[in-house]
Chains A and B, each alone.
Chain A
Amino acid sequence: NAGVTQTPKFQVLKTGQSMTLQCAQDMNHNSMYWYRQDPGMGLRLIYYSASEGTTDKGEVPNGYNVSRLNKREFSLRLESAAPSQTSVYFCASSGRRVGEKLFFGSGTQLSVL
């Protein structure tokens, strides 16, 4: 069972470049999330999708866009990367109930120079 798969694992960008982080889950979950994790800040929610076709802003959405392509896939796009977006990004999925267990991908280490 693959669970939550996110790519790439590592990425280095120059300021102003764009990229898309891909995430797919095979657990038939309705909800999918993108978090970023910075030292001393814990996990902060960037965007959230409760179901296919819906997306919602989280705590730190500025500078990001998302697409819920279908029930399995949820992508995160940085249109013009900034050094402040250097972070570890995690995709996660869960069932429909509030607070249900999150299953995380393995993370993407992104550096913006």
Chain B
Amino acid sequence: QKEVEQNSGPLSVPEGAIASLNCTYSDRGSQSFFWYRQYSGKSPELIMSIYSNGDKEDGRFTAQLNKASQYVSLLIRDSQPSDSATYLCAAPLMTTDSWGKLQFGAGTQVVVTP
């Protein structure tokens, strides 16, 4: 069982709409969470990090963290065709054997349709 779970999608979003991506994690010790974006055939790149409960906004992206419920989400406002990519949720494991190692979810594919 993966420690970080995401819906694989694809998530189809009309251009200009809000894309909502969800991620759940099982390691209660995790304190930091990351969203990476990966275009087809390319390597992942970090777009958001969040460490505290609540919302964090960066341009059209908002990350939301709820540690009590163990989920983290990413909202993409005013979605553009250039947002079409796979979004990977990641969290460092805090178990004795895996301290600090970043674990990724399977990724959610987002397709923005004109």
- A residues adjacent to B (C-beta < 8 A): 33, 35, 40-45, 48, 58-59, 90, 98-99, 101-102, 104-107
- Distance in Å: Cβ of B12 to nearest Cβ of chain A: 18
Which of B44, B100, B105 is close to A99, meaning CB atoms less than 8 Å apart?
B100
B75 at the interface (CB under 8 A from A): no
Inside 8 A of B6's CB, which chain A residues have their CB?
A: 42
Main secondary structure of the interface of A (DSSP, over half): loop
Sorting the interface of chain B by its residue count into under 10, 10 to 19, 20 to 34 or 35 or more gives 20 to 34
A58, B49: Cα distance in complex, Å: 23
On whether the beta carbons of A43 and B88 are closer than 8 Å, the reply is: yes
Q: A99-B34, A99-B100 are in contact. List 13 more A-B contacts (CB 8 A).
A: A33-B102, A35-B104, A42-B104, A42-B105, A44-B104, A45-B103, A48-B101, A99-B31, A99-B32, A101-B46, A106-B42, A107-B42, A107-B43
